[in-house]
């Protein structure tokens, strides 16, 4: 599952910073979303996109937290060791 789909599935309807990010991602027709999550530079690509759109510090922090959660979810699914906090 890619990051975009992960956020839509897990956070779209939340009243939280992650929910806000998911809704912003859904409303942004240019948000990078359709490549699979195994591209090594995918996190950097999204991070750079958010910065280019003027994302605030809180948004960037939320993205980092959500990405770590996503990555651990994918690692668990693939039976790989989880990242440490």
Q: Which spans in 1-85 are helix H?
A: 3-11, 17-27, 42-52, 57-77
- Percentage of the chain exceeding pLDDT 70: 91
Q: What is the sign of the dihedral through the CA atoms of 10, 15, 21 and 22?
A: positive
Count Cβ atoms within 10 A of the Cβ of residue 78 and give its class: 0-12 exposed, 13-18 middle, 19 or more buried: exposed
Looking at per-residue pLDDT, the higher value among 74 and 61 belongs to 61
Give the model confidence (pLDDT) of 21-30 as tens digits.
999 999 999 9
What's the rounded mean pLDDT across residues 9-23?
A: 98
Give the model confidence (pLDDT) of 33-66 as tens digits.
866 555 568 899 999 999 999 999 999 999 999 9
- CATH classification of 3-77, choosing from 3.90.1150.10, 1.10.150.260, 2.40.30.20, 3.60.150.10? 1.10.150.260
Nearest one of 33, 20, 27 to 66, comparing CA atoms: 20
Domain boundaries, the chain: 3-77
């Amino acid at each position: 599952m890619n990051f975009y789909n992960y956020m839509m599935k897990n956070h779209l309807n939340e009243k939280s910073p992650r929910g806000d990010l998911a809704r912003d991602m859904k409303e942004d027709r240019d948000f990078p979303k359709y490549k699979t999550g195994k591209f090594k530079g995918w996190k950097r690509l999204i991070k750079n996109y958010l910065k280019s759109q003027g994302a605030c510090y809180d948004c960037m922090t939320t993205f980092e937290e959500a990405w770590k959660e996503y990555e651990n979810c994918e690692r668990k699914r693939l039976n790989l060791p989880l990242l440490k906090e």
